[in-house]
Amino acid sequence: MSTPGKRAALSRHRPLGARKRQPEWRIALHSLTRATPSRIALGMFTALIVAFTALLSLPAATADGVRTSLTDALFTAVSAICVTGLYTVETGTHWSTFGLTVIMIAIKLGGLGLMTVASLLSLSVMHRLGLAQRVITAQETRAERLAEVGGVLKVILITSTVFELATFVALTPYMFITEHGFRESLFLGLFYAISAFNNAGFVPEAAGTAQYVGDPFFTIPIGLAVLVGSLGFPVILVVVRKLRTPRKWSVHAKLTLTTTALLLVIAFLGFLGLEWSNPATLGDRPLGTKLLGAAFAAVMPRSGGFSTIDVGQLTAESRLLTDLLMFIGGGSGSTAGGIRVTTFALLMLAIWAEVRGNPDVEVFRRRIPRDTIRQAIGVLVMSASVVFLATFLLLRMTPYTLDQTLFEALSAFGTVGLSTGITTALPEEAKWVLILCMYIGRLGPMTLGAALAVRTRVRMIHLPYERPIVG
């Protein structure tokens, strides 16, 4: 039992503010940090969309000084933050320099990831990351272990800065040579660099990117930036750390790089063969332009969104190939969207194991856990359900055909930004459908489902097995 003297002595050594009631903002912040990472990401993403919608709604954001409608401002804000690139108003003519700068900042924040930005700020101020922040950032960046979060954050910051700077340095002199002013060249180079590496696909020029078809000084820097950005920061981290010892690369890195290479080769050969004699795209072009145009077109459905040929004039087969590539998307933890390359690869490996009668899914002398395969199946089913529902609604709301509406839905969900040209003509309700597609596609169906789940059920009693007939 403590005496009054001991209590008085303890009170003298107690911090002054310890007996005061905590401020409301601190209580709210404490309760927020106890929320799940998915819910925090959902809340912060929504808050950022609201903020940038307000900025793009200002008269100063438009070239003519007239306020943009709420739907168009919201659509552009979601498209920029979700690094998609779809637009309902012409980017190069509708927005002022201020509006384009707002879009560029939104792309940068959306590409890095809100949790990454928050953790980088915390790391720079406190020089350390707490466990809760590590868990949140690990989910955002797809770090394989919590101990890697600090390294992933540094790689994210360094890699994004280096590649954006390299793309900026490569493009700015070329913009100046092609009769752009000095200040305009600086702005275009910076905008293209950020838009390319973050796989956003926004184009600040009224003439678009069709003017650069077959131009190596534009397409090569843009294509490389898009490709590196779509690999994923965990892959870049492994490659940077173990560049000389590929055998020590993680299964995730090997699977991502191998599948990416195969998809790029298939896409290049597919576009080259399917568009070789199409006069509306590559048919009348010289050999060098055909090769470079096909290579550029092969990279962009990964989530890049730039296009030097008219997507609306592609053959039906090329459009179907683009649909598949957009649905697959890029690497996990990257600026790309889709179901992700590793998800697609795991599903193919699971099918191959089933065909061979192998009870285990194996790759690179490693066995894949069944929980991971179940997650891949869940992502596939939920993603396909979102795309199907969006396509169904677009068919009901618009006069466009199935291939056009499916293409738009896949482009929005995969955060790609390619379009057959119907986005600007969509009615208001159809634009809202694409807004939801971009939002879900950027956060991920599994992340959104976890964020909206009220609780997780734990089964204490398991029912007996009974095998139904399959097939």
pLDDT of residue 446: 55
* 256 vs 111 pLDDT, higher one: 256
Q: How confident is the model at residue 322 (pLDDT cuts 50, 70, 90)?
A: very high
Q: Cα–Cα distances in Å, from 276 out to 22, 270, 272, 320, 386?
A: 69, 10, 6, 16, 34
**pTM strictly above 0.85:** no
149-177 helix and 97-112 helix, angle to the nearest 10 degrees? 150
pLDDT surpassing 70 at residue 175: yes
Query: Is residue 303 left, alpha or beta, with left meaning phi > 0 and alpha meaning psi from -120 to 50?
Result: left
pLDDT of residue 134: 53
Name the average pLDDT for the chain.
82
pLDDT of residue 331: 85
pLDDT of residue 297: 93
User: Percent of the chain at pLDDT above 70?
Assistant: 78
Q: Cα–Cα distances in Å, from 397 out to 206, 359, 374, 400, 405?
A: 29, 46, 35, 9, 10
The token duo for 344 is 């697609």
Q: Cα–Cα distances in Å, from 324 out to 125, 278, 321, 388?
A: 44, 21, 5, 14
d(CA 426, CA 420): 12
pLDDT surpassing 50 at residue 11: no
Q: Which residues have C-beta within 8 Å of that of residue 140, sequence separation ≥ 6? A: 37, 41, 113, 114, 115, 116, 333
pLDDT of residue 336: 81
Q: Cα–Cα distances in Å, from 363 out to 248, 338, 371, 451?
A: 14, 22, 16, 32
Which helix (H) or strand (E) segment is 362 a member of? strand 361-363
Is residue 222 within 8 A of residue 192, CB to CB? The reply is yes
Mean pLDDT throughout 255-284?
93
Query: Is residue 357 left, alpha or beta, with left meaning phi > 0 and alpha meaning psi from -120 to 50?
Result: left
Is residue 362 within 8 A of residue 262, CB to CB? The reply is no
Is residue 164 within 8 A of residue 180, CB to CB? The reply is no
Q: Which residues have C-beta within 8 Å of that of residue 258, sequence separation ≥ 6? A: 345
Mean pLDDT throughout 77-85?
93
3-state secondary structure 28-82: HHHHHHCCCHHHHHHHHHHHHHHHHHHHHCCHHHECCCCCCCHHHHHHHHHHHHC
Which amino acid belongs to residue 359? P
The three-point CA angle 280-281-282 to 5° equals: 120
d(CA 304, CA 180): 24
Q: How confident is the model at residue 1 (pLDDT cuts 50, 70, 90)?
A: very low
* 134 vs 64 pLDDT, higher one: 64
pLDDT of residue 117: 57
The mean-pLDDT minimum among 270-274, 328-332, 409-413 falls in 328-332
Q: Which residues have C-beta within 8 Å of that of residue 10, sequence separation ≥ 6? A: 2
* 4 vs 332 pLDDT, higher one: 332
pLDDT surpassing 50 at residue 311: yes
pLDDT surpassing 70 at residue 459: no
User: Using CB atoms within 10 A of its CB, is residue 67 exposed (0-12), middle (13-18) or buried (19+)?
Assistant: middle
* 2 vs 429 pLDDT, higher one: 429
* H-helix segments, 276-330: 287-299, 316-328
pLDDT of residue 454: 45
**pLDDT per residue as tens digits for the range 359-403:** 888 888 888 888 888 888 888 988 999 999 999 999 999 999 999
pLDDT of residue 23: 65
Tokens 């922040």 belong to residue: 133
Tokens 């609604």 belong to residue: 393
* 356 vs 37 pLDDT, higher one: 356
Is residue 202 within 8 A of residue 195, CB to CB? The reply is yes
**pLDDT per residue as tens digits for the range 32-77:** 545 555 666 677 788 899 999 999 999 999 999 999 999 999 999 9
Q: How confident is the model at residue 231 (pLDDT cuts 50, 70, 90)?
A: confident
Q: How confident is the model at residue 266 (pLDDT cuts 50, 70, 90)?
A: very high
pLDDT of residue 34: 53
The mean-pLDDT minimum among 42-56, 210-224, 228-242 falls in 228-242
pLDDT surpassing 60 at residue 130: no
* 301 vs 18 pLDDT, higher one: 301
